[in-house]
A and B are shown apart, each in its own frame.
Chain A
Amino acid sequence: MRKHKEQFEKNISRLVKSTGQSQIPSEQFTNNLIDDALNELQQDQPGRQKRSTFMKRFVKTTMSIAACFVVAAVLLSVLMSPVRKVSRGHESYSAKNGELVAEAKDLAKRINPPRPPAPYTTAKQASPKPASPAKINQDQILLYTKMQPAQESIIVGASSDQSLQMAHGGTTPPNGEPVDAMFFKNYGVNPFVDTEDDHLSTFAIDVDSGSYTLCRSYLQQGNLPSRDAVRVEEFVNYFDYDYPAPRQDAFAVYFEAMPWQFGAARKNTHLMRIGLKALEIPDENRKPAILTFVIDVSGSMSREDRLGLVKQSLALLVDKLRADDKIGIAVYGSQGREILSHTGLNNKQRIMRAIRSLESEGSTNAEEGIRIGYDMAEEAFVPGYINRVILCSDGVANVGATGPEQILKIIKDKADKGITLSALGFGMGNYNDVLMEQLGNKGNGYYAYIDTLDQAKRLFSNLTGALQVVARDVKVQVDFNPDIVRSYRLIGYENRDVADVDFRNDIVDGGEIGAGHSTTALYELKLWPQKEGNIATTYVRYKDADTFAVSEFSARFETSQIAAGTSAVSDSFALASVVTQFAEILRQSYWAKGANLADTLAKARQLTAAFENNADVTELVELMTRTNDLLAKTADSEDALEPASIEYRQP
């Protein structure tokens, strides 16, 4: 609602301003802008000095390296061409190296005398930036984190001690950003909403877990992830909460609530969990699958042997498929091409030969590769089967006539026709999380990030769920009772917001859910004291995966169902609470202000007894411990920010 109000105000402001005919801005605008600029100038002085010192050091180092290259190149050219001259003089290179270099430098100076600095130029006059096909939607705020020393920032983008090689072949950076950029998007943090202003909370479900695995990869490499990489709902949805599956219905819904103390500023709040579990389908009842792999074999995929991991993951998937399934493969480097037409699993050797033959090459013509993949999928399309394109990439698209908007449009159109897409992300450094997530979202499939073979195994362990969708366009609307609930905030799902009025508008996109998959949404609630009754009614609306028939059901949750304390709730709810706190702290949410990771870690450790054989929970505790250590290390470093100056994400 608040977002709508802001959008409305902005539009009205722009409309009224459009009536202005003056070529001079208002005096007030000029004065306000001068004041703001001077404030910025004063506030930013220390930070800039710090950056400027770093930049100086960086420039100095770069210049030294460049100088070494120049010297080496000059030496080489001198050794190659005037070799005969020197030979004629019977002089040894070793004795004359220094002089030769000096001579070469003098020569270079004569040929290229130092130029006066060029006057200020515009983009048009300077080398034009190529129209970038990989440009992300202009409304997005793209952040990138360059490889840099850990102490430069409290949040470090990627490994500081790893000198990752530059991408081969496809070295044209996406959007003109450095090749090692990691692209994430800041979706903001949901605010507390007064039920008097808006008692409806509507969102599209999300079963992705890419954000968790990507952040795990950061932490395992000894770095804190960018806070924009953290999507709370994807952290929460990574874990299995053991919701019982429905027997007949498409969904079962589960509620739980407990008193919750998180962050310094709030007391007497509650955490409410809404869990949705989709119908399970036995593997033998799964529909036959026509899968089209579109594999990125560009230069960037040779980094950290991303392509090797793709091959291993695909081999794993092929092993789990049935004889009535089919696989086709398209690849894209500098150009897209088909390398295997759709082949039945009874010819597994042919499929495996095609997978083994993949080699990285050239730049990244994602658009062409995706088009070819979809052409193949359309040709092999069988109504009633699972028709799915599986894209394996690091999300970097730097060649092609059109931008990602066009790619996303193609994917959306095809998804509407029944060819869905799953985006599997590979790679750390030069990785585009934003595009991969959008591809999975628009393609009515899912987005997963694969950093290890174990992750691939985990993903394909429920292959039926990964492939067969049981409900499409699933939307959830929670109608809070203003007599009981004073205010609420949805934790996460910031990029899955649906306007309240669009809940029953079936043209508006929701989320897809695979067989046996579950999804969890958490709300922090402030309740009116000593009131009893219905807290909320939750409506779930979805389309049948095959017939597209729309169904809706609702469930109520009462105050009497709130647990008396944290010890009275299920272990799985306690786990969800810990995961939420971890993600909120990692993304520096405004609502995590004053929260202490050590406290959350202690709660997580208590849970290990209840989840003794659960590798995911063991790993979570390990990751939280690492994070705690990294935060402590950062706090000890010279450039650590004062707690008061940590910039928490404002709702």
Chain B
Amino acid sequence: MTMTPSDRAERELKNLEAVAGNGLLHRRAFLRGGAALAGAMTGYTLVPSASGQQLADDAWSLVPGVTVPDYGTRSRFEKNVVRTLSNPKGEPRTQHARTPHHLLNGTFTPNGLHFVISHAGDPDIDPDKHRLVIHGLVKQPLVFTLDALARYPMVSRMAFVECGGNSAPLFSLEPIQASVQALHGLVSCAEWTGVPLSTLLDEAGIDPKAKWIVVEGGDPPHVSRSVPLAKAMDDAMIALYQNGERIMPGNGYPMRLLLPGWEGNMNTKWVRRIQLTEGPGMTFYEARTYAPVLPGGKAYRFYFIQEVKSFITHPSPGLALKGPGFYEISGIAYSGTGRIAKVMVSADGGKSWAQAALQQPVLNKAFTRFRVPWRWDGGPAVLQSRAWDEAGYEQPTRAQLVAARGETTRVPAVTGFPSQHYNAVTSWSIERGGEVKHVYA
């Protein structure tokens, strides 16, 4: 009897050893299983079938296509891949636009889908009239035009930017049923290009008494934050480009402060002024807003670092599984304290774990895509991911985080911010029909 390709695939699948409960396979199962396995795992049947459709030339291949536009946009069939807006009618308050992680793949966020928080809309800044001033405890206060900065030696780096309030709905005492976009959509990753801030501060001449910078934007609320000078001299950048083009208006056009790995609100957009000071300004956003309250009533001050975190994007709520069989579990991991060292994935609510493959290159303070092959048997499963970084930090479980940071006393609005800096494990439950739900496990 001759073996068909599908027979071979079936046999190799049966021989594959699950490395953790509920069907998690070795992260290199694709490579070990060979082409037949790869075919089976992507869901295509290899059995010659009478139901197969006879191919014919498609209409779009028989006439000339549309004229190439001067600025490209995605296919009209992708029009549903959009950010979700908190104030779609421009209501007069802070606006949020969240990244649709479940509809993207890879590691960087397209510019039109990068998350935005604007406290009074995006200012319409004329780049020729914009100025950046450095003053305070310096030998010589300086003013820079965009033209001047564009002549400086530049650096490029991938970096995630995450709102300090991202994932805040997970502080809820009960799991809120919402998409990964609603729960984790206030983080994005881009390649930023610009001038190291240390170069500009050195040119102004730093007074030895200076220990902080107070940074201000040119937006209507003139959002300001204090940053330790040590961070400013380490890896801070005045960014001019985002994924190769000028920064988007919502992300700080024509220039923003980039503080890799630190709280999004500190990465001052539309940056226009940097004052060197001995102490922090205790501005509204650091004194009041980004000061998460702890159980008992005290609050953290200067919660600058976005700590190690991961979440599964595929599958996730809204992306139902279409029957038992093979799927790739994938998601995003990142840390404000270095490169991702390891991501473990569980399909049985944390009882057993499989190590995920990390998409190379794994970059410092940037998104790392992780992937694990999985055979779903159609039964209940709870998917989790947990990340570690090169500095030795581990992503806490939800129980660990709640023990230290507390949870809410009532279910908050999904767009609300009952606290900040949630970086614990997220759990997705796979229901019998393939629906994905947010659970605590």
Do chains A and B interact in one complex?
no
